[in-house]
């Protein structure tokens, strides 16, 4: 079970990275930052924080399928769970130990759903997350680039995820006010717009969302070389995109194992 739990979690993180999602990076607010179980109110720790944040739900509250039922609700049909891991030290008998006891690690995984994936849970059972928003100050140079993008995809604000949909050709973004800074907002927006350049109505890039296939693997040459910027050499005061090259080394390490991330 221990090795299987490691593999389940490793596959989950690697899968996110291959889609261009860095699970330990999310520069916008989503209420209380630390995900927690709705019933026990205990915060998740270790790699669970990365996995749950990567799901990009506004609410920090999670629960199991059975816990949703205990509250009088249910998980919406078709929703997919997120795996989380639980580990602790167990004391066992040992003939080779001077004390006759030894501690062994116990690890298992289980599946949880965000409250946004559930229905019919009484509103009074779900606390209102705390977390304010800043006022958004648009960066004029960045706005000019967004407005001037040829054949720009539809840009939709108001959700809790930042993503580009090749099938529908639109970019979903959280509200600008929910980001930690204007620079963070435009960094994420530009990243999603670079995905959109691969659409068949634009560059039709193979492996970047065009008509000839799926997304390129994390760290691959097509994904690393994409850029959005002013073609006339304008300098835009946004943060460097910290996705592909910056995390390629961690991606390679995950391929070989990630036991250390379970601690915490």
pLDDT in tens, 14-55: 776 666 666 566 666 654 468 899 999 999 988 888 788 777
pLDDT for residue 152 = 93
Q: Which residue has the higher pLDDT, 245 or 174?
A: 174
Q: Which residue from 135, 138, 136, 137 is spatially nearest to 146, judged by alpha carbons? A: 138
Angular region, 121: left φ>0, alpha ψ -120 to 50, beta rest: beta
Per-residue confidence band for 226, with pLDDT thresholds at 50, 70 and 90? very low
Percent of the chain exceeding pLDDT 90 equals 25
pLDDT reading at 239 higher than 70: no
Concatenating the DSSP letter of every residue in the chain gives -HHHHHHHHHHHHHHHHHTT--TT---B--SSSS-EETTT-PBP-THHHHHHHHT--S--EEE-HHHHHHTT-EEPTT---EEEEEEEEEEEE-TTSTTSEEEEEEEEEEEEEEGGGEES--GGGSPPPP---PPP---HHHHHHHHT-TTPPEEEESSS--EEETTTTEEEE--GGGBSSHHHHHHHHHHHHHHHTTSTTTT--TTTTSTT-SPPPTT-HHHHT-----TT------PPP-STTTTHHHHHHHHH--GGGG--
Measured in whole angstroms, the distance separating CA 20 from the mean position of its chain's CA atoms is 10
pLDDT reading at 126 higher than 60: yes
pLDDT in tens, 129-181: 665 567 889 999 999 999 999 999 999 987 667 888 888 899 988 889 888 78
Backbone φ and ψ for 134, nearest 5 degrees, come out as: -90, 165
pLDDT for residue 47 = 82
pLDDT in tens, 56-113: 787 889 999 999 999 999 999 999 899 898 888 888 888 777 888 888 878 788 899 9
Label the pairing between strands 101-114 and 82-93.
antiparallel
User: What Rg value do the Cα atoms of the chain yield, rounded?
Assistant: 21
Q: Which residue has the higher pLDDT, 101 or 220?
A: 101
pLDDT for residue 3 = 53
Q: Which residue has the higher pLDDT, 226 or 124?
A: 124
pLDDT reading at 5 higher than 80: no
Angular region, 193: left φ>0, alpha ψ -120 to 50, beta rest: alpha
Contact 241, 20 (CB under 8 A): no
Residue identified by tokens 């899968």 is 15
**Best-predicted range by mean pLDDT among 98-102, 215-219, 244-248?**
98-102
Angular region, 83: left φ>0, alpha ψ -120 to 50, beta rest: beta
pLDDT for residue 220 = 46
């Amino acid at each position: 079970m221990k090795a299987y739990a490691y593999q389940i979690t490793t596959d989950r993180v690697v899968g996110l990275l291959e889609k261009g999602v860095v699970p330990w990076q999310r520069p916008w607010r989503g209420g209380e930052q630390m995900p927690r179980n709705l019933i026990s109110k205990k915060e998740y720790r270790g790699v669970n924080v990365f996995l749950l944040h990567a799901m990009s739900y506004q609410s920090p509250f999670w629960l199991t399928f059975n816990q949703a039922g205990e509250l009088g609700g249910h998980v919406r049909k078709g929703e997919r769970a997120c795996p989380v891991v639980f580990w602790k030290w167990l004391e066992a008998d040992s003939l080779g130990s001077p004390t006759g006891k030894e501690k062994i690690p116990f690890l298992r995984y289980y599946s949880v759903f965000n409250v946004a994936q559930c229905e019919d849970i009484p509103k009074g059972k779900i606390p209102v997350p705390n977390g304010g928003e800043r006022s958004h100050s648009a960066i004029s140079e960045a706005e000019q680039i967004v407005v001037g993008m040829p054949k720009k995809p539809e840009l939709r604000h108001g959700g809790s995820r930042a993503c580009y949909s090749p099938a529908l050709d639109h970019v979903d973004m959280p509200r600008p006010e929910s980001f930690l800074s204007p620079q963070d907002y435009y960094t994420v927006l530009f990243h999603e717009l670079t995905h959109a350049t691969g659409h068949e109505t634009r560059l039709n890039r193979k492996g970047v969302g065009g008509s000839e296939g799926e997304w390129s693997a994390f760290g691959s040459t097509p994904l690393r070389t994409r850029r959005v910027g002013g073609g006339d050499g304008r300098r835009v005061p946004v943060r460097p995109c910290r996705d592909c090259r910056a995390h390629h080394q961690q991606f390679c390490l995950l391929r070989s194992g990630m036991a250390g991330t379970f601690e915490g």
